[in-house]
Amino acid sequence: MQCDQTIALVWFYTARGYPARLRRIRYWDAEHDRRLVFLTNNFVLPAPVIADLYRCRWQVELFFKWIKQNLRIKAFYGTSENAVKTQIWIAVCSYLLVAIVRKRLNLEVKLSTMLQILSVSLFEKTPIQQAFSLDGVRPVETEFHNQLRLLDF
């Protein structure tokens, strides 16, 4: 811990936005050899606890960044805890299923590429090996006579 101060915001818009006093904690992270500064309105907890809470919060931020990048969740459909958890679990399960397919079929395609291909070709009837082949060959459309055709005028 380098310092623990009580401060007030003095610039017009910031002071108007938050007129109460704040606590400024400057912390030295020896593990990563860097100085961190935290602002909080919590004056009860000790400074090392505040620094540790922010460190844990950063891990949560990194987790959500990973979710956005890998699970393709851009926004949550619901705001309740159950809705967010359900959407994350569904996305994780989908991600893992694609990873299992990739492993079992010994595909060289990156997982992110597979997810992208699946997102644009979800309703196509393409053999999975052919969908992920990188040779650029697309499947030939076959006529299924027992299938109803939408918009076939």
The pTM (predicted TM-score) of the whole model is 0.52
User: Which pLDDT tens digit goes with each residue over 95-151?
Assistant: 999 899 889 888 888 888 888 888 777 777 777 777 777 565 554 555 555 655 666
Rounded to whole angstroms, the Cα distance separating 23 from 14 reads 15
Coil vs helix vs strand at 131: helix
pLDDT for position 153: 53
Rounded to whole angstroms, the Cα distance separating 47 from 45 reads 6
Q: Band of the pLDDT at 67, cuts 50, 70, 90?
A: confident
17 phi-psi bin (left φ>0, alpha ψ -120 to 50, beta other) = alpha
Q: Is the pLDDT of residue 6 over 90?
A: yes
- Do 23 and 4 form a contact (C-beta atoms < 8 A)? yes
